[in-house]
Amino acid sequence: MRFEHLVQINDPLIPLLDPLTREQLWRGLVRRAEEPTLFVLALEGATVHARERSGDVVELVRTLDFGAFTVDDRVRLYPLDRTETRTAATDRWPASRLTIRIEEPGPDALFLRFTYESDEAEADGELDAVTATLRRRAYESADLDTVQRIRELAQRGELG
């Protein structure tokens, strides 16, 4: 399965919406990687086991605790550009990837592009249309929550 969508961050047509800088947006994405419990509602706990660096790229090795199950993943942070999360497959979760890319097509125009990809189990076949639609809606809702949380952190001065 592959799903991709854009979330507009700054909109000059909405003057009451405080604009974010690329740096604030990036710091918010880093915070999401380092402290995912602030951003993921069903997440009960998270442990960062290792932080590895290769040039400018930082990789976090984490375990996410959802109560009934845990997920191991790796998050690569490409400064001021994108985060890439690769989740290992379990008996309850397919291997999956999430890329969150900052896009700036023009001055003061910032977007986040969320790209979800997953390897569904061979035995399960293709996702049915209803399941795929529900999953997409859940992703969109979670991503809008992420942006809202980044805005709240910025308003409190926590993102510079």
CATH code for the domain of 88: 3.30.530.20
Q: Of 129, 98, 130, 96, nearest to 114 (Cα)?
A: 98
- Is the model's pTM score more than 0.85? yes
Residue 29 lies in a domain: yes
Q: What's the domain range around 126?
A: 2-34+79-155
More confident residue, 11 or 27: 27
Residue 21 lies in a domain: yes
Average pLDDT over residues 7-17: 84
Burial of 39 (0-12, 13-18, 19+ CB in 10 A): buried
CA atoms within 13 A on the CB side of 106: 4
Average pLDDT over residues 12-33: 91
Please report the pLDDT score of residue 147 as a whole number: 96
